[in-house]
Structure 1
Amino acid sequence: MLALQEADEECRPHGRILDVAGIAADTGLEYQHDSAALRWGPSSDGFLGTIMFLHPRFDVLYRDVVDLPGHCHRGAVVVEAEADGTAFRVMSMHLSLFQPLRVVQMRILGQYLYRRPEMQTILLGDFNEWRPWGGLMFNSRLLGRGFRGPARRSFPSGRPVLPLDRILTDRAGAVREVETVRTPQLRLASDHLPIRGIVHLDAPK
Structure 2
Amino acid sequence: MAKLSCVTWNIHRAKGQDGRVDPDRIVDAIGSAIVPLAPDVFALQEADGACRPHARIIDVERISELTGLDYIHDQPGLRWGPQSDGFLGTILFLHPELKRLHADVIDLPGHCHRGAISVETKVHGRECRIISTHLSLSQPLRIMQMRVIGQYIRRRPQMQTLLLGDLNEWSPWRGLAFSRTVVGTALRGPSKATFPTGRPLLPLDRILTDAPGRVSAAFVIDHPDTNLASDHRPLHGDVDICEMGE
Name the TM tier (shorter chain): over 0.9
Contact 2:160 2:213 in 1 (8 A): no
1:74 maps to 2:114: yes
Q: Deviations over 1:51-72 (max 9, x none)?
A: 0000011121001000001111
Give the C-alpha shift of residue 203 in structure 1.
4.1
**How much identity, in percent, do the aligned residues show?**
57
Shift of 1:142: 0.9
Q: Distance in 2 between matches of 1:88 and 1:172?
A: 11
Asked whether 1:39 is paired with 2:72, we answer no
Aligned counterparts, 1:2-81, within 5 A: 2-81=42-121
Tell me the CA shift for residue 135 of structure 1. Answer: 2.5
What is the alpha-carbon distance in structure 1 between the residues aligned to residue 68 and residue 229 of structure 2?
A: 22
1:136–1:189 Cα change, 3 Å: same
What do residues 125-154 of structure 1 show as CA deviations (whole Å, max 9, x unaligned)?
A: 001011111232122111101111011000
Listed as ranges, the gaps of 5+ residues in structure 1 are none
Show CA shifts across 1:147-193 (max 9, x none).
11011000001100000000000025620000111112212211111
Measured against aligned partners, the alpha-carbon deviations of 1:9-39 in whole angstroms (never above 9, x if no partner) come to 1111110011000000000000000000000
Q: How does 1:49-198 map to 2 (within 5 A)?
A: 49-171=89-211, 174-198=214-238
Query: Contact 1:155–1:164 at 8 Å: present in 2 too?
Result: yes
The residue identity in structure 1 corresponding to 2:205 is: D
Secondary structure of 2:187's aligned partner: coil
Aligned residues of 2:212 and 2:244 also touching (Cα < 8 A)? no
2: CA distance between counterparts of 1:71 and 1:122? Answer: 26
Distance between the aligned counterparts of 2:126 and 2:199, measured in 1? 39
Secondary structure in 2 aligned to 1:145?
coil
C-alpha separation in 2, matches of 1:38 and 1:182: 31
Runs (4+) off by over 4 Å = none
The more displaced of 129-138 and 76-85 is 129-138
Q: Deviations over 1:60-113 (max 9, x none)?
A: 100100000111100000000012210000000000011110110011111111
Alpha-carbon contact 1:121-1:169 (below 8 Å) kept: yes
How many corresponding residue pairs?
A: 205
Query: Bigger shift: 164-173 or 2-11?
Result: 164-173
RMSD between aligned alpha carbons?
1.3
Contact 1:149–1:173, Cα closer than 8 Å, also in 2:
no
Please list every run of 5 or more consecutive structure 2 residues that lacks an aligned counterpart in the other structure.
1-40
Larger fraction in helix: 2
